[in-house]
Amino acid sequence: MSHRTIAPLALSLLLAACATVPPVVEAPAAAPTAAAAPHTGMVSAADQRASEAGMAMLEQGGSATDAAIAVMLALTVVEPQSSGIGGGGFFVHGTPEGEVTTLDGREKAPGGAGPDWFLDDNGQPIPFMDAVMSGLSVGVPGNLALARKAHERYGQLEWAALFEPAIELARDGFVITPRLNATLARAKNRAGRVPEGQALFYDAAGEPLPVGTLVKNPALADSLAQIAAEGPDWLYQGPAGAQLADYVAADTPRDGAMVPADLRHYEAKWRSPVCGEYRVYRICGMGPPSSGATTVFAILKQLEQFDLAALGPDSPTSWHLFAESQRLAYADRGRYLGDSDFVDVPVAGLVNSAYLTARGSLISPTSTLADPEPGVPPGADLALAEGPEWPEHGTSHFAVVDREGDAVSWTSTVEGPFGSGLMYGGFYLNNELTDFTMVPLVDGVPVANRVEGSKRPRSSMSPTLVYGPEGNLRIAIGAAGGATIPVQTAKALIGVLDWGLTAQEAIALPGLFSPGDTIVLEPGSSLLAMKGDLEALGHKVVEHDMPFKANAVEFVGGQWLGAADPRSEGVALGN
């Protein structure tokens, strides 16, 4: 199956998924999306209450890692549609001296899962929502294991202290925001799938609780208190984990379902960071099973030969070049990226300077590529195929810098809105396994991202750190929004590094997504005025809502500056 064949299917699935994205809701006027703090700490997250939880840790003398863990836990309470302890994530840590480490807390398939996991009796993929709304979609959660390992290496405060803000929010209550209310309305099938979710977020008539309603989640408060006292072993080694596995297995309509041993054997893994040079900057991110670092870097490096600074953000040529580079990068992503514990991912080749320069030379400022096929990076396994994908959704990103200048960029997710809809202990369980490719083989050739027992599905999450020419941290950034995440991240970096914008301005730039043969433009954006210019260059252009949501912290002008997407309810706070 060629890239040309797959791209329309992937785009149609993406657009179908985006149709369920809640409408854009601006943050309240009292909650600024950017803040500055000279030489102190900074937190940027998708919800003010999560940013406040992180700031509370910094004010107690905690590290960036302490603050980031507190943010992740608070988001479990206040942004349950996007992330939490029922899901997983990727953690990128950087020191002021440029030492970067990355930690993989991606969810895993049960050990008994196999290539036919999502196939029916005729060998055809089952309907997407049939997969989501069952135990088939639930991977072993990884965020708590990630938090423990990160805290063991970089934490300063006591483990239990990190839970206090989230426990208070769950026990004493949190107010439903416009975005949560909109998602509850659009994702009733998931959020209210089980009685616990229905009772928590819906009234007697089955309608979402209105904006401003105070919601208390005592079951989640109890779970968090147990984990604060006992550590992550509460989930992975004890009776609670065994009960969770049994609960998921009872909802799984085939053999090979999750068992307690899947939780007992789960491990968050330190991985080698993926770094490369773009102009005078060092870009570092998360390697496989994330496709983030390789895809973000490919988009940038393929454009290095063009004078983007001279073109600027108001030029249709800039956006044409950006679209073409996406098409090339996503072709390689689809062919080669997967869990490197199971497939040979040519990471070094995918970020090889000569290879990406050659790929970039395929881009013309005056025409479009007819059919951007995957390239052949050094070390590539040519015995792999690209398969059709289900859509990716949701997620939450947060960035933290502490007093010492250490930075954390962490992307956390439960996949779609409210994950699988299954709830355990007051939190939603992910549907990450639908990030695997639909089919295991294409024309008899194995797909890199096929389902295998204990494998981690490929992810678009792209937590990123950028260091300047003097070796200083320039920006910690990432995004949420499924397959658009690498593009959002690359767009913001072009805005900052090439166009001289602040991170806040760069994140707010209009969205353009072009993973295949069609450019998708953000409705209501300034890019709509360029539609005719892009079409004249040969592009097929459509307008459609997309789930954009990015957060960043940057060092500029001698101070830390936070940024949060104006399309979201995100807030950056400094102490």
Dig out the tokens for 143 from the structure.
């965020």
pLDDT, position 390: 60
* Cα–Cα distance, 519 to 538 (Å, whole number): 11
pLDDT for 251 equals 98
Q: Tokens 């496709």: give the residue.
A: 291
Sheet holding 396-401, edge to edge: 269-271, 100-105, 88-94, 407-413, 396-401, 42-45, 571-574
Burial 367-388 (b: 16+ CB within 10 A, else e): ebbeebbbbebeebeeebbbbb
Following DSSP, what letter does each residue of 146-211 receive, concatenated?
HHHHHHHHH--S-GGGGGHHHHHHHHH-EEPPHHHHHHHHHTHHHHTSSHHHHHHHB-TTSPBPPT
Predicted local distance difference test score (pLDDT) of residue 488: 97
pLDDT at 445: 87
What's the pLDDT score for residue 13?
Answer: 40
**448 with 383: CB under 8 angstroms?**
no
Alpha-carbon gap, residue 519 to 262, rounded angstroms: 41
Q: 100: which strand partners?
A: 94
* CB within 8 Å of 399: residues ≥ 6 apart: 42, 43, 44, 407, 408, 409, 410, 476, 477, 478, 551, 552, 553, 562
- Note the pLDDT of residue 149: 98
Q: Which residue has the tokens 């956006």?
A: 319
How far, rounded to the nearest angstrom, does the alpha carbon of residue 7 sit from its chain's CA centroid?
21
Cis amide leading into 463 (omega within 30) = no
pLDDT of 23 reads: 34
Residue 467 pLDDT: 98
As separate numbers, helices (DSSP H) first and strands (DSSP E) second, the chain gives 21, 23
Measured CA to CA, the distance from residue 177 to residue 568 in angstroms comes to: 11
Burial of 123: CB neighbours in 10 Å, binned 0-12, 13-18, 19+? exposed
> Scanning the structure block, which residue is given the tokens 């196999």?
114
The Cα 344–Cα 448 span in angstroms is 9
Secondary-structure class of domain 3-271+395-448+462-505+547-574 per CATH: alpha beta
- Please give the pLDDT value at position 40: 67
Phi-psi region of 355 (alpha: psi -120 to 50; beta: other; left: phi over 0): alpha
Which residues contact residue 530 at a Cβ distance below 8 angstroms, ignoring those fewer than 6 apart?
Answer: 316, 319
| pTM for the full predicted model | 0.93
| Beta partners for residue 409, in sequence order | 92, 399
Q: What is the 3-state secondary structure (H, E, C) of 82-116?
A: CCCCCCEEEEEEECCCCCEEEEEECCECCCCCCCC
In which region does residue 176 sit, left (phi positive, over 0), alpha (psi from -120 to 50) or beta (all else)?
beta
With H, G, I as helix, E, B as strand and everything else as coil, classify residue 562: strand
Question: Where does residue 127 fall: left (phi above 0), alpha (psi -120 to 50 degrees), or beta otherwise?
Answer: beta
Give the catalytic positions in this structure. 395
Q: What is the DSSP letter of 282?
A: E
Q: What is the mean pLDDT of each run of 10 residues along the chain (575 residues)?
A: 38 43 33 49 97 97 98 98 97 96 98 96 94 97 98 98 98 98 96 97 97 98 98 96 98 97 98 98 97 98 98 98 98 94 96 98 97 93 68 83 96 96 98 94 90 97 97 96 95 98 98 95 96 97 93 93 95 88
DSSP string, 29-75: TTS-S--EETTS-EEEESSHHHHHHHHHHHHTT--HHHHHHHHHHHH
Cα–Cα dist 471/97, whole Å = 7
* CB of 201 closer than 8 Å to CB of 184: yes
Residues with Cβ < 8 Å from 38, sequence gap 6 or more? Answer: 558, 559, 560
* Structure tokens that stand for 440 in this block: 């295991």
How many beta carbons lie within 10 A of that of residue 29, not counting itself? 6
